[in-house]
Structure 1
Amino acid sequence: MRIHNLYVDADGETHFRDIEIEWKNEGRGGKTSATLPATGIIFRETPGTYDYEWHPAPRRQYIINLDAGVSIQASDGETRIIGAGEVILVEDTHGKGHFSKAIDGKLRHSIFVPIE
């Protein structure tokens, strides 16, 4: 399983990379990873007009898109579409941050899972 990761380097630039989730257990119900730390859960509804200029993430957190995607641009210029059902780990809590925008004017529901 692959998740997106948005991180910041020593110069304050943000970049994307992919993280592969390692499977620790396998059984009749499928595969599971190790238990990862989390400090809560936040539900979010984002309007289809969402167009949020450059900003750092407010905290390290996983974001799970439920029913629509979002376009995110890192400060190095790479843009990714994080689609419905995909997960991104945002870790750019300082530096230049990222730019995010709704796709096709669609309302989006997502879940934030803070890890600090």
Structure 2
Amino acid sequence: MRVHNLYADADGESHFRDVEVEWVEDTPGGKLSKRLPATGIIFRQVPPTYDLDWHPAPRRQYIINLDAGVQITASDGEARVIGAGEVILVEDTSGKGHLSKALDGKLRHCIFVPID
């Protein structure tokens, strides 16, 4: 299972990388990862006109898209579509940040899971 990760380097440039979930337990109900830290859960509804200029993430957090995707562009120029059902860990809390844009004019529901 892949998690997109958006992070900032020492110069404040944001970049993507992929993080593979490490399975630590195999149960009759499926594979499990270790328990990861989290400090809460925030539900969010994003309008279909969402188009946010350069901004850093407000905190380190996982974002889980439920029913629509978003295009995120790192400051190094790489753009990724994070689709419905996909997870991104945003960690670019300093530097230039990233661009975020709604896709296909769709309303998006997502979950933020802060880890700080």
TM above 0.5, yes or no, is yes
The two structures have a TM-score, normalised by structure 2, of: 0.99
Flag structure 1 segments of 5+ consecutive residues without an equivalent: none
What is the root-mean-square deviation of aligned Cα atoms in Å?
Answer: 0.3
The amino acid that maps onto 2:20 is E
**Structure 2 counterpart of 1:52:** 52
The two structures have a TM-score, normalised by structure 1, of: 0.99
**Structure 1 counterpart of 2:21:** 21
Q: Which contiguous aligned blocks of 4+ residues in structure 1 show a shift greater than 6 angstroms?
A: none
Matches within 5 A, 1:1-116: 1-116=1-116
Deviation per residue, 1:58-80 (Å, 9 max, x gap): 00000000000000000000000
Counterpart of 1:3 in 2: which secondary structure? strand
Alignment coverage as a number of residue pairs: 116
Counterpart of 2:23 in 1: which secondary structure? coil
**Quick one: distance in 1 between partners of 2:42 and 2:14?**
24
**Quick one: distance in 2 between partners of 1:96 and 1:47?**
24
Counterpart of 2:67 in 1: which secondary structure? coil
Flag structure 2 segments of 5+ consecutive residues without an equivalent: none
The amino acid that maps onto 1:30 is G
Deviation at 1:27, TM superposition (A): 1.2
**Quick one: distance in 2 between partners of 1:3 and 1:93?**
18
The amino acid that maps onto 1:5 is N
